[in-house]
Structure 1
C-alpha cells in the first residue's frame, strides 16, 4: 500500500484539551480508527528556537517525544482535518511511503 509516515515532534509536558498532548494524540488515533501509533521518547533534542530539550535525571517534563503513524492518504486527511479543527499547535513531517505486512 501507499501512504504516509507522519511524525509529530513535541515535549512530554505539552498539553491539549486538559491532557498531555502525547496521550491526546494516542487517544485520537484510536477514536479515528487509525491503524496504530508509536510514541518514541528521546533523550535530547533541539527545538525550532534553538533551545535544547532533554530528559534529566529527576525531571522528564522537558523530554522530547516523537509520535509516529503510518496511514493512508484518506486517514492522513481525516487526522489533519481534526488537528486543524482542534487548533493543535504541533510540528510534523509527512513523508510518502510504501507499507505492508509480511508473514502470516
Structure 2
C-alpha cells in the first residue's frame, strides 16, 4: 500500500479544548476512522530554541516532546492536517511518503504482494 507517514512533534503539556493535545489528536484520528496511531514520549531532545531538555528532574515535567504518528492514506493525512488548521492548532509535523504492508496478511488487510529485493511490486 502506498500512503504517508505522518508524525507530529508536540510539547508534553500542550493542551487543546482542555485535553492534552497528543491525546486529542489520537481521539480525532480514531473518530476519522484511521487504522491506528501511537504516541511516544521523548527521553531527551531540543527544538528550534536549541535548549536541551532531558528526563532527569521533576522540574522538567511537561517540557519534553511527545511524538504522535500515523501510517495513513494521503487523503487521511490531508483531512487531519486540515482539521488542525481549522482548530488553529500550531504543531510541527513530518509528512513522508511511505510504502507499507502486512506480512502474512489476513483477508481484511489491505496489502500488496511483496516484490523481490530490488524489484517494484505491481
Deviations 1:77-102 (A, max 9, x none): 11111111001100001100111111
CA–CA distance in structure 2, aligned partners of residues 43 and 92 of structure 1: 19
Aligned residue in 2 for 1:48: 48
TM-score when normalising by structure 2: 0.79
CA–CA distance in structure 1, aligned partners of residues 33 and 52 of structure 2: 35
Q: Is the 8 A contact 1:44 1:63 kept in 2?
A: yes
The count of corresponding residues between Structure 1 and Structure 2 is 104
Q: Is the 8 A contact 1:54 1:64 kept in 2?
A: no
Aligned residue in 2 for 1:16: 16
Matches of residues 23-62 of structure 1 in structure 2 within 5 Å? 23-59=23-59, 60-62=61-63
In the alignment, structure 1 residue 71 sits paired with structure 2 residue 66: no
Deviations 1:5-32 (A, max 9, x none): 0111112111111111111111111111
SS class of match (1:51): coil
- The root-mean-square deviation of aligned C-alpha atoms, in Å, is 1.3
Aligned residue in 1 for 2:81: 80
TM-score when normalising by structure 1: 0.91
Aligned residue in 2 for 1:100: 101
Kindly name which structure, 1 or 2, has the bigger radius of gyration based on alpha carbons.
2
Deviations 1:31-82 (A, max 9, x none): 1111111111111110111122232343531122111110001111111111
Q: In terms of mean alpha carbon deviation, does 55-64 or 13-22 score higher?
A: 55-64
Unaligned runs of 5+ in 2: 107-122
Runs of 4+ in 1 over 3 A off after TM superposition: none
